[in-house]
């Protein structure tokens, strides 16, 4: 690619610099075509471990592997040019020690070419975050409802409705910020807790089921596009992709059955 056609990607420091400024637009992507479409509108594209549920049909994110995340991360990198691409570290890839976390995170970045990784940030995470950042790996943290911990938390439930839990969420976010995270996702918490987190940390907060006062917002793209009938309370369906696909599939099936497809313009003929 020539220098004049080169598109500069958003960087982690540029995301951090947006704290308190223009809202940061984020969505998830798992494939090159979707990433190519979203790239024009997003500051940050997350290759979320939600891929396990919305693409692979798993019941949770726990079954997602490094190999799955690398494969989808590579696809999103091929499809995007402008947005900062962050890839989720899957369950079991970083929790049992900072050295193992670095080994897996560095592999993720080398094999995908992504610009940052994301980890779910419990009380254990600050030391690992600091270790990764000191070694050149930008980290986005994740507090509140942490899908990888849904077995411990008792399901995919909103967090921060009790004072003790609310304080824990704020403290986890502060610890992640102080350890060097460039941004923190705040998921599934009451609005007032999300606002407290945003006020308490010096890095941008990216809300999902949180508050409009967060420094940015993210949604799982298939949810936002209306691919599924049931979505979390915090999702607004900006399209009805399910109905569109159903209509197209129904029309296609009908055309095949009555032999009106393929049409003349869809078949090849010998040239005279």
**171-214 pLDDT, tens per residue?**
999 999 999 999 999 999 999 999 999 999 999 999 999 999 99
pLDDT over 70 (residue 162) = no
pLDDT over 70 (residue 106) = yes
pLDDT over 70 (residue 251) = yes
Mean pLDDT of 17-40: 98
Per-residue pLDDT at 151:
38
Per-residue pLDDT at 268:
93
The predicted-structure confidence for 110-134, as pLDDT tens digits, reads as follows 999 999 999 998 777 999 999 999 9
Per-residue pLDDT at 124:
77
The predicted-structure confidence for 31-84, as pLDDT tens digits, reads as follows 999 999 999 999 999 999 999 999 999 999 999 999 999 999 999 999 999 999
Per-residue pLDDT at 5:
56
The CATH number of 3-239, from 3.30.1330.20, 3.20.20.60, 3.20.20.70, 3.40.50.9100, is 3.20.20.60
Domain ranges across the chain: 3-239
> Which of the residues are catalytic?
187
pLDDT over 70 (residue 247) = yes
Tell which residue, 9, 2, 50, 87, has the closest CA to residue 219: 50
């Amino acid at each position: 690619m020539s220098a004049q056609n080169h598109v500069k990607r958003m960087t982690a420091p540029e995301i951090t610099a947006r704290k308190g400024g223009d809202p940061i637009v984020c969505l998830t992507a798992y494939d090159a075509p979707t990433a190519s479409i979203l790239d024009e509108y997003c500051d940050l594209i997350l290759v979320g471990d939600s891929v396990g549920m919305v693409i692979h049909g798993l019941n949770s994110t726990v079954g997602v592997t490094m190999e799955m995340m690398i494969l989808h991360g590579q696809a999103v990198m091929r499809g995007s040019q402008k947005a900062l691409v962050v890839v989720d570290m899957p369950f079991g890839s970083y929790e049992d020690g900072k050295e193992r976390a670095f080994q897996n995170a560095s592999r993720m970045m080398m094999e995908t070419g992504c610009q940052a990784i994301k980890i779910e940030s419990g009380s254990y995470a600050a030391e690992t975050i600091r270790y990764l950042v000191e070694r050149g790996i930008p980290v986005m943290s994740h507090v509140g409802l942490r899908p990888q911990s849904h077995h411990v938390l008792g399901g995919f439930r909103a967090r921060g409705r009790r004072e003790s839990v609310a304080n824990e969420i704020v403290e986890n976010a502060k610890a992640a910020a102080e350890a060097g995270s460039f941004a923190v996702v705040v998921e599934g918490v009451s609005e007032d807790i999300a606002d407290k987190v945003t006020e308490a940390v010096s890095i941008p907060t990216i809300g999902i089921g949180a508050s409009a006062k967060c420094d940015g917002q993210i949604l799982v793209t298939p949810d936002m596009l209306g691919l599924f009938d049931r979505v979390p309370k915090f999702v607004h369906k900006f399209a009805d992709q399910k109905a569109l696909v159903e209509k197209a599939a129904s029309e296609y099936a009908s055309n095949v059955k009555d032999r009106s497809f393929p049409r003349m313009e869809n078949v090849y003929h010998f040239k005279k």
